[in-house]
Chain A
């Protein structure tokens, strides 16, 4: 009994000592950032729900948006007093506003934040121009189940003026791991690249495509690897086959970059589509006057 009491005393003393050290500022254990209360999140949801319809307009300058994506009567929302007020508020509570944007099936998602709230949150976060919201906007531009939210997040991303966002989207669009990044995910990433509207995306995709197409694909039985050395005097003396047999993959899974670039450029060729020469010739000829395509509704 005495031992138990002594043990309890030691635990209490240790806990008190840790608290004293943590309060001193030199040492912290288990210190957590300020919790975002559910009441505060509910307030923000209510605020965005009650905001005027102007908040639904893309907050980007018309010159930055591909023409096809502009609403019928563009209003530069960012110049209004409401925008300035909301954006300042979001800057001071960046974490809480980012929570509103989390797609519904993700951890920590706010259940009451419907598509309308998420659209508005995306635009407000874009207007803050703060790079810390980049990852959340990329997630929403690709993984949100609602096309309007993906569109809003995709249009808000260029406002951050951060090329890393473009590279992250390109990585997602060209991901070769077709089990982890299934075709819809890669497709949405490619569509987000169209909304981003930067030519660097095409150049990055072309570079990746050159690696994908050169010398064929190990997965495609109709376009087997060309020039692979086999037999005596090579590192494949048993002449084993190049790729896994009979996976029956779809075209999108065999050629992720080719599928992505077809969406981003809106271009496809009747013949020579799997030839890098065809794509490079096209880009050399039509590249200077290239305009991003109009996105059609997702099937």
Chain B
């Protein structure tokens, strides 16, 4: 221990310029000094490299189709009817009539040295730092820097005040300038933004009061209904979607239904249970496939000779007993489906995987048929119907 201290002191006094020596011949202190200097010099370069790498990964054009799917790649050609996009070296054409919007690749990253030279704002806001709102019909999207919108944000925060009078005053003020406040409100709904749950609930109520929403607003509403960390905020978003009967938000929710993640799927089911949209439930039921069974029959056996000769005839005579047999093996397909699983979560009941079971559940739920009517139908149906084939079906199931 003593040697180490002496060695450290001697090295510092003898050789201040650590960079001139080979790294493995340096003392511990010297190496530390050298590493510190090296780190200071290299850090901006490393950051720049990292940014460039990120940009290279994300520098792709994104095409959003009308059915909700997105395609990423590089747009190589565009004519009057189609857009050609290159993905993994392969080109494919997409009809413009199918395209909802095209998001071009982001601009080149900012030079980190130049960015470092700019004065930083005193209060650092968490993500998202900027919000892009595309109004329908507007040529350019509105880009709002949330870091420079402190006054707007403070006013929106008043929507979450505990006193109803103060809330109403804030609501009236914001409603009067809703175009100005809308980007801030939508940005503050993002779960990563530092806003309390009552502020977000206040924003959602104001959005409902200022309907109809833009496409961005509707999609944000659906996102909040699934991903907000607070259950009451999620429920408020669902109430807003139900109140507005917002088709865009419901379409966005249906996109969330397609994810494989069990947590998200459960959150979607809770949201759909709360929204209780008849059209949506009917469409999910429609998406359940009818299961089918394919049977393979083997050769019949036991027909050539009796299997048993039992002494049960008159006077003790033996009677031949034939027991013909045939092997049957089958394969059932479409036994389970994501749509049926989702319905089980929404309804909190397990009605199996038959579409007609869920259709009858739906009809009972909306008051179309009563229990007695259903029982009457069940008793009066044909033998074929009793065997599980729904009426009107051609026998394919």
Contact = CB atoms under 8 A, between A and B. Distances in A.
Interface of A: 129-132, 160-162, 164, 167, 176, 207, 210-211, 213-216, 218, 223, 225-237, 242, 272, 274-281
A13 B165 CA distance: 50
B361 A227 contact: yes
B325 interface: no
Interface residues of B, number: 44
B173 interface: no
Contact of A275 (B330, B347, B348, B371): B371
B372 A272 contact: yes
B352 A229 contact: yes
B194 interface: no
Contact of B370 (A211, A230, A277): A277
B353 A226 contact: no
Nearest to B355: A229
B352 A215 contact: no
A129 B164 contact: yes
Nearest to B346: A211
Contact of B357 (A130, A227, A272): A227
B353 A277 contact: no
Interface string B287-310: 000011100000000000000000
B180 interface: no
26 contacts: A130-B163, A131-B163, A167-B235, A207-B276, A211-B348, A211-B365, A214-B365, A215-B349, A215-B357, A215-B360, A223-B371, A226-B371, A226-B374, A227-B361, A229-B388, A231-B388, A232-B293, A233-B293, A234-B353, A234-B354, A235-B335, A242-B350, A274-B371, A275-B364, A275-B372, A276-B365
Nearest to A130: B162
B354 A210 contact: no
A229 B332 contact: no
B351 interface: yes
Binding site of A, secondary structure by majority: helix, strand, loop or mixed?
loop
A167 to B, nearest CB: 7
Given A223-B371, A226-B375, A275-B371, 11 more contacts: A129-B165, A213-B364, A215-B349, A218-B350, A228-B357, A229-B353, A233-B332, A235-B335, A275-B364, A277-B369, A280-B367
Given A214-B365, A233-B291, A272-B372, A228 B352 contact: yes
A118 B367 CA distance: 44
Interface string B26-43: 000000000000000000
A49 to B, nearest CB: 28
B23 to A, nearest CB: 35
Interface in B152-194: 162-165
Nearest to B356: A227
Contacts of A167: 232, 235
Nearest to A234: B352
Nearest to B164: A161
Most buried by B among A215, A236, A276: A215
Nearest to A232: B293
B78 interface: no
B273 interface: yes
Given A214-B364, A215-B360, A235-B335, A228 B370 contact: no
Contacts of A279: 367
A234 B332 CA distance: 8
A145 B387 CA distance: 55
For the complex of A and B, the 8 pairs showing the least CB-CB separation, nearest first, are A229-B352, A280-B367, A214-B365, A229-B354, A227-B357, A131-B162, A277-B367, A214-B364
A207 to B, nearest CB: 5
Interface in B196-232: 198, 201, 232
Contacts, number: 116
B110 interface: no
Contacts of A236: 352
B164 A160 contact: yes
Nearest to A223: B371
Contacts of B247: none
A206 to B, nearest CB: 10
Contact of B347 (A132, A176, A214, A223): A214
B330 A232 contact: yes
Contacts of A162: 164
Contacts of A161: 164
Most buried by B among A162, A213, A229: A229
Contacts of A130: 162-163
A241 to B, nearest CB: 12
Contact of B349 (A129, A160, A218, A274): A218
A157 to B, nearest CB: 13
A229 B389 CA distance: 11
A227 B360 contact: yes
Nearest to B361: A215
A233 B352 CA distance: 11
Nearest to B364: A214
A228 B357 CA distance: 6
B364 A215 contact: yes
Contacts of B370: 272, 275, 277-278
